[in-house]
Structure 1
Amino acid sequence: MTIRVAAVQVRSTSDPAENLDIIAEQARQAVDQGARLVVFPEAMMANFTTRLAPVAEPLDGPFVQVVTGIAADLGAWLVVGMFEPAGDGRVHNTVVATDGHTLHHYRKLHLYDSFGSKESATVAPGSELVTFEALGTTIGLATCYDVRFADQFADLRRAGAEVICLPASWAPGVDKVDQWELLVRSRAMDAQAFVVGADQSGDPSATSRAPLGVGHSLVAGPLGKVVAALGAADGVLVTDIDVDLVARVREAIPLG
């Protein structure tokens, strides 16, 4: 079984309304190319230069309602990063997945308290893995820094995930592109699944740890092979994945 997937590589702004326009435009481009699963970056509601608490909304708020409407109009699954109020003054870094009729959400488990950053100061961690059935397969969700944690992707494998959506806002810095690509490929091998990594676009000359992205969105297969990839600039990466390969790999290499 083949599924056409897309990773949308853009740089979100600090304005949720402007970002919804970007989502609508880019999702339509992806669907016009046949994509049925369209993955956007982390922090598509508002980028990490923004004060998050004032823009955060509940799952039944207007941001998700608009995303749901876009998905329904296009007849495709959209995966989008947003922020929810956490109830303690912080927010949840949340990914929503919707086809316009059903809504799933995942709250980022592993917070980016590294390289001098402290995401946990403003973001509360989630507590549960998320998988769901769609497009004839099982889809799992993860977010950005989660990609450093092999156990999470092994657990998604055990939960049956064959395709894992990985929105990211991978901060630039020395060797960060190499780390991103290596980690996505490694976690695809741990999960024995396809991983669709959609990062915020970046400036290839950037060396600071600005909370944006480096680009280089990619789709990696269950043996770690890069199926398709972008550079640093904005783009829509559309590619076909053979989901049946997942079962063949898991049979050949039984990891338990």
Structure 2
Amino acid sequence: MHIALGQLASGADVGANLQAIDRFAAQAASRGARLIAFPEYATYEKKMVDATFPTVAQPLDGQIGCELAKIAKRHEIALVSGFVESSPDPARAFNTLVAFGPDGALLAAYRKVHLFDAQGFEESRYVAPAPTTDPVTFCVDGVRFGLLTCYDLRFPEQAQSLSDAGSQVLLVCSSWVPGESKMAQWRTLLAARAIENSLYVAGSCQAPPVSVGHSLLADPMGGVVAELGVEVGLVTAEVCVDTVADVRKHFPTSVQRRIEWGRRTSPPT
């Protein structure tokens, strides 16, 4: 199965962002891709999350969500995109990934669990965390995809929960903030999650200057199958469920695992 990663330079112009998504979806479909993944905050992005994010938030079936569904249906391709979703708190939105099938039907919606309160950022000031930490997955053409958003990549237990839920490919839609060692961490963590769980990990990232670019696909052994640079662009690559099964046969870590990691409730004595 061929998938595509669309690397955007999204801004505050929702209409322009949707036009870029439409253009890349058309290109991906013409190259034979059955799914395209776009970055976190693909439909609305700024250098820092601020008070405007809740004001542009919409429900999943609002105008922006409906337009994303139309794009998927028009090009007959599954589409995953970052989306600013309204929440019960009018002062905070959800940082959501939406997945639409080639027929335009909503396949999944994942609200970011781990908010980026790091590097001087305070995403939680204007974004509400997901009300549940349950893994979110969906299927296209017999391949099961799991959803993560940016900072979630630093929490290996979350990727493991998606693997345990049957995922063969993790889609990590990101706006990875630049900084010291951040590029190396982005590439290393994508490969690590692939190796740990014996699956493909596809990182779709915003381009500079907001983010680091370098959207890439890592295979179940951690090798980089395809990668973009810092430019806005599109890359397609193949994922193979037989490869996932073969690697899991040789490294059956999921059945050998003896420890179920949980949050420590008190300091060790």
Query: Which residue of the other structure, out of 7, 30, 33, is the alignment partner of 1:32?
Result: 30
Q: 1:180 aligns with which of 165, 176, 186?
A: 186
Partner of 1:230 in structure 2? 228
Deviations 1:38-68 (A, max 9, x none): 0001001100346201111000101010110
Q: CA deviation at 1:16?
A: 1.3
**Counterpart AA for 1:242:** C
Whether 1:142 aligns to 2:148 is yes
Match of 2:122 in 1: 118
Where relative contact order (Cα < 8 A, 6+ residues apart) is larger, the structure is: 1
Equivalent position of 1:161 in the other structure: 167
Asked if the contact 1:148/1:183 (under 8 Å) is kept, the reply is yes
- In 2, are the aligned partners of 1:79 and 1:95 still within 8 Å (CA)? yes
How many residues align structurally? 246
Distance 1:27 1:90 in 2: 30
Q: Give the SS at the match of 2:253.
A: coil
Q: Which residues of structure 2 form unaligned runs of 5+?
A: 255-269
Contact 2:137-2:145 within 8 A present in 1 as well: yes
Residue 164 of structure 1: how far off its partner (Å): 1.2
Alpha-carbon separation, structure 2, partners of 1:142 and 1:246: 19
- Bigger Cα Rg: 2
Q: Is the 8 A contact 1:16 1:55 kept in 2?
A: no
2:107–2:138 CA contact under 8 A, matched in 1: no
1:217 aligned residue: 215
Amino acid at match of 1:4: H
Query: Structure 1 length normalisation: TM-score?
Result: 0.93
Cα distance in 1, alignment partners of residues 119 and 176 from structure 2: 12
Pairwise CA distance, 1:219: 0.1
Instruction: State the AA in 2 paired with 1:29.
Output: Q
Separation in 1, partners of 2:193, 2:154: 8
SS in 2 for 1:239: strand
Match of 1:91 in 2: 93
The question of whether the paired residues in 1 share the 8 Å contact of 2:11 and 2:45 is answered with yes
Which position in structure 1 is the counterpart of 2:69? 68
TM-score of the superposed pair, with normalisation by structure 2: 0.89
CA distance in 2, matches of 1:16, 1:135: 30
1:14 aligns with 2:12: yes
Q: Deviations over 1:42-101 (max 9, x none)?
A: 001100346201111000101010110110111110000011112122111000000112
Deviation, 1:134, is 1.6
- CA distance, structure 2, for counterparts of residue 61 and residue 254 of structure 1: 43
Q: Residue 142 of structure 1: SS of its match in structure 2?
A: strand
Counterpart amino acid of residue 177 in structure 1:
M
Shift of 1:190: 2.2
Counterpart residue number, 1:206: none
Checking the alignment, whether the CA contact within 8 Å between 2:10 and 2:45 is kept in structure 1 is: yes
Instruction: Using the TM superposition, give the Cα deviation of residue 103 of structure 1 relative to its aligned residue in structure 2, in angstroms.
Output: 3.1
In the alignment, is the contact (CA less than 8 A) between 1:156 and 1:191 conserved in 2? no
Aligned sequence identity (%): 41
CA deviation after TM superposition for structure 1 residue 32, in Å: 1.1
Give distance in 1, aligned partners of 2:232 and 2:212. Answer: 10
Alignment deviations for residues 189-232 of structure 1 (CA, whole Å, 9 cap, x no partner)? 222211110100115xxxxxxxx211011000111111111111
CA distance in 2, matches of 1:187, 1:61: 34
Instruction: Please say if residues 152 and 158 of structure 2, whose CA atoms lie closer than 8 Å, have aligned partners that are also in contact.
Output: yes
